[in-house]
Amino acid sequence: MKAAFFGPEATFTDIAVQSVFPEASRVAYRTIPECLEAVKAKQVDMAVVPLENALEGSVNLTVDYLYHEELPPIRAEIIVPIEQHFMVHPANAGAWRETEKIISHSHALAQCHQFLRREFQLAEVEAMGSTAAAAKYVSEHPELKWGAVANEMAAELYGLEIVRRAIHDYPFNHTRFIVLSNEELHIEKTPDFLKSTIMVTLPTDKAGSLHQVLSAFAWRKINLSKLESRPLKTGLGNYFFMIDLNHSLEEKLVRFSLEEIHALGCTVKELGTYYRYMADE
CB 189 within 8 A of CB 127: no
**In the annotation, is 86 catalytic?**
no
From the candidates 62, 175, 197, 273, give the one annotated as an active-site residue: 175
CB 126 within 8 A of CB 103: yes
Pairing of strands 57-58, 25-29: unpaired
CB 258 within 8 A of CB 266: no
Write phi, then psi, for 138 (nearest 5 degrees): -60, -40
Q: Which residues contact 22 (CB under 8 A, 6 or more apart)?
A: none
| Nearest-angstrom CA–CA distance, 66 and 18 | 23
**In the annotation, is 177 catalytic?**
yes
From the candidates 177, 217, 240, 241, give the one annotated as an active-site residue: 177
- At position 122, the amino acid (one-letter code) is L
CB 32 within 8 A of CB 59: yes
3-class SS letters over 204-249: CCCCCHHHHHHHHHHCCCCCEEEEEEEECCCCCCCEEEEEEECCCC
User: Looking at the annotation, which residues are catalytic?
Assistant: 175, 177
